[in-house]
Amino acid sequence: MRFLSAILCAFMLAWGAQAQAAPLEKVTIVLPSETPTMHPLTESNFIGTIVWRWAYDTLVSAETGTGKIGPWLAEKWEKLGPTQTKFWLRKDAKFADGTPVTAAAVKYSIDTIVAPETKSRQAAYFREYKGIEVLDDHTFIWHSKGVDNGLLDRLATWGLIVNPNTKGKPLAVFAQTSHGSGPYILKSWEKAQRMVFEANPNWWGRAKYPDLPKTVILRRIVEPTTRVKALLADEVDVMSGVPPHLIEQVRANPKKAVAAVPGVRLMYLNYSHGIGPLADRNVLLAINHAVDFEKIRKTILGGLAEPMGQIYHPWTYAGYDPKRQWYPYDPEKAKALMKASKYPNGFKITIHTAIGRYPGDKETCEALPGMLKAIGIDATCKPMNYPLYTRLRRAYIDKVGKKDYEKMEPVLLYQGFGNSANDPAGIMRAFAGCKGAWSYYCDKELDAAIDKAARHPDLEDQNAAFGKIIDIFKERALVTPFFRIHDVYAYDKRLNFAARHDEKIYPWEITAK
């Protein structure tokens, strides 16, 4: 009997070993666009914040499911005072070329972001950075200009650590391979087509993630319908940005699954402030009252978005107030505001947006002219691919404050902003700061107010300060928040995949069932 039991036990153990899934050889992920660069310190880019993390490490990381900030390259940290934080680095972290990750490398990376010659679009996120004091290879003190309650949240997205050996090298070297300490190494990049990453054999996180996929392929497919077709044809394994009208088609496939979570991305309308009719506050307010946000949310997005009366999301470390409201849909009031403006007979204007970058971007843009026509504004929607949209947007931003800016054509821009760093000051600087990455506006007094709010040591006072600034945003109609979209993913059921609220995809967490 014991013999039979032993045989049965051995059989069950052998069967269990065979049933346990082996690490995935390959996972293919599809996104609507690609990062403009693999240098993780120069751009402020949605796709970049996803892909850079595959090859480069941050000091801390937000936990999937909770968003709780935890150790990553930094094993621990301690507040030494209002403006000083001490960090201890892992001692087993190495860059892709085998050199150790040191405190000097951290200093090099952050100093690169804020250096004027870098012209980094991330510099605005590090306005409070004063410098790093290196104590030894694995410890350093982060010095801030003032109190910075959002430092750790910011460091979970920005401030990726780059090998100092890249100093002085052209940007092209970052497109050839990666120079970080992350879980993957960039092996090839066919622009506008695909990127191939191979698992980093020396990654310090392999003990925690032993079953990470060996190869990750990133494909760029702009059209959401084409992305869904690729998923259903088993050409890709994971996709983001599933359009609401295609969700049931994916769910009908027994091999595929859909995961939707309320996310951080705010969809909003921005303005080329100060140009023509957009210099008239009555016009800006009229546009706010003319847009039926709820109709767009329910019809175009199928309800997969949260109404927003502000620009902060619930994960921001300060400033969010669920009771806050924006201007309500009121076409009659919008008409009255237009009559009171300098343009009672209306005007022509173009609305620009990207195609397939955000859920319902093109469709929302196409819906807006009809709403604006009701108040006398002759608007035309002009959707375009994201690289072209980015060039257009920057052509305006780069001229803000210059003489020829006001000679440009007035435009409306429908776009999204994720703020995965959970930073209220960061999003306000980005939207309306004099050097904001997405700003068509400059008021140095407003910049100073944002800086002051960001440095409040008391969170209650800080909440009140940020609340006053959002009142200024509303009073001046600096932007028009529409809603906060849900992140909708589709994936192959053979995978263990967990959707995140911050739009990031961590391939090292994807395993076989």
Domain hosting 101: range is: 22-220
CATH number at residue 173: 3.40.190.10
The rounded distance, in Å, linking the Cα atoms of 147 and 151 is: 9
SS3 405: helix
CB proximity list for 475: less than 8 A, separation 6 or greater:
none
Please tell me the total count of domains within the chain: 2
Write the CATH number for 267: 3.10.105.10
Whether residue 276 is found in the same domain as residue 402: yes
- Are 144 and 128 contacting, i.e. CB atoms less than 8 angstroms apart? yes
What is the pLDDT, as a whole number, of residue 175?
85
Q: Name which of 445, 352, 342 is nearest 392 in CA terms.
A: 352
Rounded to the nearest 5 percent, the helix, strand and coil shares of the chain are 35, 25, 40
pLDDT tens digits for range 48-92: 999 999 999 999 999 998 889 999 999 999 999 999 999 999 999
Rounded CA separation 46/157 (Å): 11
- Return the amino acid letter for 503: E
**Residues constituting the chain:** 513
Q: Is residue 17 part of a domain?
A: no
Q: Would you say residue 230 lies in a domain?
A: no
Residue finishing a domain among 167, 198, 220? 220
| Same domain as 412, residue 301 | yes
Across the strands, what pairs with 487? Answer: 261
Examine the fold and report which residue of 187, 220, 253 is the final residue of a domain before the chain moves on: 220
Q: Same domain, yes or no, for 198 and 289?
A: no
Q: Do the beta carbons of residue 391 and residue 267 sit within 8 Å?
A: no
CA-based max dimension of the chain: 97
Same domain, 206 and 326: no
Q: What is the pLDDT of residue 300?
A: 95
**Which residues are within 8 A (CB) of 257 and not within 5 positions of it... i.e. 6 or more apart?**
250, 251, 490, 491, 492, 493, 497
Task: Report CA-CA distances (Å) from 340 to 322, 334, 398, 469, 513.
Answer: 32, 10, 32, 26, 63
Cα angle vertex 268, ends 263, 269, to 5°? 170
Q: How far is CA 114 from CA 128, 129, 205, 237, in A?
A: 10, 8, 29, 38
Distance CA 272, CA 288 (A): 15
In this prediction, residue 73 carries a pLDDT of: 99
Is there a domain that residue 62 lies in? yes
The last residue of one of the domains, among 190, 220, 250, is: 220
Whether the model clears a pTM of 0.75, i.e. scores above it, the answer is yes
For residue 172, the model assigns a pLDDT of 85
Q: Could you tell me the CA-to-CA distances from 189 to 35, 81, 196, 435, 444 in Å, in that order?
A: 11, 44, 7, 31, 41
Please check whether residue 128 is in contact with residue 454, taking contact to mean a CB–CB distance below 8 angstroms: yes
Question: How would you write the pLDDT of the chain (513 residues) with one tens digit per residue?
Answer: 433 344 334 333 333 333 456 789 999 999 999 999 999 999 989 899 999 999 999 999 999 988 899 999 999 999 999 999 999 999 999 999 999 999 999 999 999 999 999 999 899 889 899 999 999 999 999 999 999 999 999 999 999 999 999 998 888 889 889 999 999 999 999 999 999 999 999 999 999 999 999 999 999 998 889 999 999 999 999 999 898 889 999 999 999 999 999 999 999 999 999 999 999 999 999 999 999 999 999 999 999 999 999 999 999 999 999 999 999 999 999 999 999 999 999 999 999 999 988 889 999 999 999 999 999 999 999 999 988 999 999 999 999 988 899 999 999 999 999 888 899 998 999 999 998 888 999 999 999 999 999 999 898 999 999 999 999 999 999 999 999 999 999 999 999 999 999 999 999 999 999
| Residue 199 sits in the same domain as residue 274 | no
Contact partners, residue 497, CB within 8 Å, separation at least 6: 238, 257, 259, 489, 491, 510
- 290 and 205 share one domain: no
158: its two tokens: 């920005």
Let me know whether 153 and 270 are in one domain.
no
Helical ranges in 271-313 per DSSP H: 281-290, 293-299
Q: Answer yes or no: are the C-beta atoms of 140 and 107 closer than 8 Å.
A: yes
- CA-CA distance, 12 to 9, in Å (whole number)? 5
Amino acid symbol at 246? L
Name which of 434, 273, 269, 425 is nearest 361 in CA terms: 269
Q: Give yes or no: residues 276 and 210 share one domain.
A: no
Classify residue 256: in a domain, yes or no: no
Q: Three-class SS of residue 40?
A: coil
Q: Is there a contact between 87 and 139 (Cβ–Cβ < 8 Å)?
A: yes
Q: How far apart are the first and last CA of the chain?
A: 35
Is 316 part of a structural domain of the chain? yes
Same domain as 269, residue 191: no
> pLDDT value at position 268?
98
**Are residues 270 and 210 located together in one domain of the fold?**
no
Can you give the pLDDT at residue 236?
A: 98
User: Pairing relation of β-strands 26-31 and 215-220?
Assistant: parallel
* Residue 186 covered by a domain: yes
In terms of domains, do 201 and 282 share one?
no
Would 2 be classed as within a structural domain?
no
Q: Is there a single domain that holds both residue 171 and residue 282?
A: no
b/e 351-383 (16+ beta carbons within 10 angstroms → b): bbbbbbbbbbbbbbbbbbbebbeebbbebebeb
In a domain, 454, yes or no: yes
